[in-house]
Structure 1
Amino acid sequence: MTDAKSTAFDWVTHNHPHWSAWNAHIWDLAETAWREYRSSQWYVEKLRAEGFTVEQGSGGMPTAFSATWSNGPGPTIMAYAEYDAVPGNCQIADTYRAPRKGLSRFAGGHTDPHSALGMGSLVGTLAAKAAMQQHGITGTLRFMGEPAEKVRGSKPIHAARGYYNGLDAIISFHPFYMMPYCNTARWDTHCGPYYAAIYEFLCETPETWLADAQGGPIPAAHTSARAPGANDAVVAMYTLSKMMRDHMLPHTGTWTLNETILASGQATADNLAAQMAMIMFAARCPDVAMLKNIYDVLDRNAAAAALASHCTVKRHWVSKSKPGLANHAMAEITYRNLWKAGAPSYGAEAVQAARAIQKELGLTPMDNPYADELSELIEPQEAERRIRQTIPAWQTHYTSDDYTDMTWFAPTVRFYIARPVLKAPPGFAYPDWVMNALGGIPASIDPTIMTAGKTIAGTILDLMTDRNALARAQEEFRARKTASADPAPWCDYEPPIDFPWPEYVETPRGRAWWIPATADDRALER
C-alpha cells in the first residue's frame, strides 16, 4: 500500500467518532425526495468548512449542490452524496419498532440507507483530500449533492445541464441491497432505464347535469349527488392501468410499474367535486422500447379517465433516466481498493444490538446474528456470473438507479458495500423496521461507512496517480459510448420541484411530518 493510501485509511479510522455522529444526524433528519433542505444544507456547510467551493441549488434544484476542491493540475474525480429518505418508514435507531420521537410512523426513514451512502462518499473524499495535501498529489475533487434518488430525480437534470462535463472519472457507491451485489462492483450488467411521470387531473368545470335537480342556486347541494371530479379520474386511471398491466408487455425480462397518489383536492369537502388530484407512475425496464410502450398505454389511460370524469389531464415528467454503461477498468481499480480496505466487520456492540432485535421478535438470539455474506468479498466477474443466472440471456440491464446518467460522461464504477442484515431462521422474514433500525444504529452501520470511505479514498488516489490505469478506463469509456446510438441526455423538462411531495413542516407544535402523529404512534414509544 502506498504512503498516500495509508494516510487516507488512517484518516478514515481516526475520524470515526466525527463521521459517525455526522451520519447519525443525517439519518435522523430523514428528509424525503425534493425536500431534503436540512440534509443538503449540512453538506454544503461541511464542504465549505473543508475548503470546497460550493454552488448551492445546482441545476435549479434547491436541495442539490455542486462542490469543487483543487490543489493544482491533474485529473478531476467525482463522488457524490444522496440523502433522501422514504415516506412511511419512520423508525427509531433502536432494537424495537417505534417512530422517531414526536413523529408519525408515516414520516420519512432511511431504507437503503442513503444516509450511509452519502456519508461513505464524503468520508472517502475528505480522506483522499487529506492524503493529497500531505503527499503533494495534485488534482481536483468534485462532490455532488444528488436529491430525490428514489424517483431518479436529480442526476438526469445535472447531466443535461452540464454538471458532469469535464470529469475524468466518477465513483458511485451504494450500500448493498440484494445478492450477489454485496462487497463487489458491477461488471457488465448495469442498471436499466427509467421513466416517471405525474398525471395531473383538473376538474375546473364539473359536469352540470345536476344543475337543475333542485332548481336552487347551488348545483351540488348537500342533498344532491356530487358530480365526477379529479378523484374519480385518478381512481379510473389507477384501476384501468392495473387492469392493463398484464397486457402492456409480455412477462419476459424484469420490469416493474408502480404508482403513487400524490395529492387530492377538497379532502374535507365531501359535497364538492375534487378540483385536483395527481397520480405518479414509475417504470423500470431492461430497455427503452419497453418504457415507451408502457407510457403509450398510460397516456391513453389518462386521456380515457379524464374524458369519463369531465377533467383535463397534463403529464409532467419527473424523470427520464438512461441505462448504464459498464467500465471494467474502473471496476477492477475499485475492487482492488475494496480488497485492501477489507469487508465490514461487526463488534460486540453491533452483535448485542442484533441479538436484542431477535429477542424482541421472539427469536432465539444467535451467536453470529449477521449474514455471513456481509464479511465476504465477491469478485465483480463472479457477481456477474451469478446475476446472469437469474435473468434472460438477451437482457442487458437489470434493476434501477440513476447513477446511470453519469456513466455517459466519464468512466464510472458502481460498487456495493455490505449493509447490516440479520440471519433468519427457516421460513422467517424480518419486518421492514429491522433493516431501517440497523441502518441507524451506529455500531451496525458504521462498518459500512468505514469500508466504503477507505475504498473510495484509495480509488481516488489511484486515479490521481496512476495515469495509465486512468487512461485505460477512459479508452474503454470512449469505445462504449461511441458504440451507442443514443449518447445524449434524455432530460427535456424542468426540475419537478413544485409538486406536492410529502415533507416535514413547521407547526405550532414544532417540526412535524405533514401527517400528524397519532395516539397509535405514541403507543409504540418506550
Structure 2
Amino acid sequence: MDHTDEYIKEISEKIDSKKEYYVEISNKIWEFAEPRFQEYRSSELLQHVLKQAGFSIKADLAGEKTAFIAEYGSGKPVIAFLGEFDALPGLSQKADVAERIPVHTDSCGHGCGHQLIGTGTLASAIALKDFMKEHNLQGTIRYYGCPAEENAGGKAFLVRDGYFNDCDLALCWHPEQGRRACYGSTKANFRVFFTFHGTSAHASMCPELGRSALDAVELMDVGVNYMREHMIDEARIHYAIT
C-alpha cells in the first residue's frame, strides 16, 4: 500500500505546528542582512536551532568561516538540504511593504529570499529528522549551511573539499510565483580576477620606458570579445573593470 500522501501530510503538519517559530527565525535573518562570507549571526542562529533539534554540528568548513554542516542519523541514504542566508549589497529594504523603501541606503538586504531559503530547508530537515525518529528509519540527514550563494558560489568550496562526496541527494528550493519541482542542470560559474601592474615613465621625455596597465586591460577586453565568435552558444562571458 502506498502511504506517500499520508507521510507528506504528517511531515507538513510537523512544519505547520512550528510555523511561528520558523517565521521568527526567518525574520531575524532578514534583519541581520549580512553579505557574503560575513553571515556570522545568521550562521550562528541556524547552527543553534539545529543543535537544539538534535543535530551534530561541524563548522568553519572549506575556508569559509560561516559554512557548516548539521547532521542527524547514520547510514544510507545521505540526504542533503541546502540552506542559504547571505544578503546582497544595496538592497536594504523595509519589511512587509511592496514598494522600495530602504532602511539604510547603502546597506545589504535580502533580494531573492535567502532568509526564506535558509529557514525553509531548516524546517524540512528538522521535520524529516522527527519523522525518521518516530518511524525508526535509517539514513542520514544533513543541513548544509551555504554562505555566499550570490557573487561567490560558497557551495563550490564545499564541493571542492569533498563535503558532498557521499551524498545521495541534495535538495534546495527558491521562492517562486507557483509550486513546481525541478530537475535539471545549470551553467557552471567560474569567476576570475585579473590585476594589471604598469611601469611609470615620463610621458614626454621617455614614454618608451613605461608600461601601461590600462592598455593591457583594454587589449584583454577586446581580445576576449573577439573570442565570442568562436565559443559554443551556451557559454557566457561577463566582465567588469573595477
| Pairwise same-fold verdict (TM > 0.5) | yes
CA distance in 2, matches of 1:163, 1:142: 11
Structure 1: give runs of 5+ residues left out of the alignment: 213-227, 262-278, 280-526
1:121 maps to 121
Secondary structure at the aligned position of 1:84 is classed as coil
Superposition deviation, residue 254 in structure 1: 5.0
1:239–1:38 distance in 2 versus 1, CA, 3 Å: farther
1:88 maps to 90
Superposition deviation, residue 196 in structure 1: 0.3
- RMSD over aligned Cα atoms: 3.1
How far does the alpha carbon of each residue in 1:280-307 deviate from its partner, in whole angstroms, 9 at most, with x for none?
xxxxxxxxxxxxxxxxxxxxxxxxxxxx
Query: Structure 2 matches for 1:276-425, cutoff 5 A?
Result: 279=242
CA distance in 1, matches of 2:215, 2:135: 62
Query: Structure 2 matches for 1:186-335, cutoff 5 A?
Result: 186-188=182-184, 190-202=185-197, 207-209=200-202, 233=213, 237=217, 241=221, 243=222, 246-250=225-229, 253=233, 255-260=235-240, 279=242
1:50 maps to 53
CA distance in 1, matches of 2:138, 2:214: 56
CA distance in 1, matches of 2:201, 2:76: 69
2:36–2:152 contact (8 Å) kept in structure 1: no
Superposition deviation, residue 73 in structure 1: 4.4
1:235–1:108 distance in 2 versus 1, CA, 3 Å: farther
Secondary structure at the aligned position of 1:115 is classed as helix
CA distance in 1, matches of 2:66, 2:56: 16
CA distance in 1, matches of 2:60, 2:71: 14
The one-letter code sitting in structure 2 at the alignment partner of 1:80 is L
Superposition deviation, residue 114 in structure 1: 1.6
The one-letter code sitting in structure 1 at the alignment partner of 2:87 is A
Superposition deviation, residue 202 in structure 1: 4.8
Secondary structure at the aligned position of 2:16 is classed as helix
Query: Structure 2 matches for 1:409-448, cutoff 5 A?
Result: none
CA distance in 1, matches of 2:215, 2:14: 55
Comparing both chains, which one has the higher relative contact order based on Cα–Cα distances under 8 Å and sequence gaps of 6 or more? 1
The one-letter code sitting in structure 1 at the alignment partner of 2:83 is A
Secondary structure at the aligned position of 1:174 is classed as coil
1:136–1:143 distance in 2 versus 1, CA, 3 Å: same
Superposition deviation, residue 235 in structure 1: 8.9
CA distance in 1, matches of 2:218, 2:40: 32
2:140 maps to 140
Give % identity.
Answer: 26
Query: Structure 2 matches for 1:96-175, cutoff 5 A?
Result: 96-100=99-103, 103=104, 105-175=105-175
1:33–1:150 contact (8 Å) kept in structure 2: yes
1:23 maps to 26
Superposition deviation, residue 240 in structure 1: 5.8
Structure 2: give runs of 5+ residues left out of the alignment: none
How far does the alpha carbon of each residue in 1:385-413 deviate from its partner, in whole angstroms, 9 at most, with x for none?
xxxxxxxxxxxxxxxxxxxxxxxxxxxxx
1:79–1:172 contact (8 Å) kept in structure 2: yes
Give the TM-score, by structure 1 length: 0.40
1:75 maps to 77
Superposition deviation, residue 244 in structure 1: 5.0
CA distance in 2, matches of 1:159, 1:43: 21
2:12 maps to 9
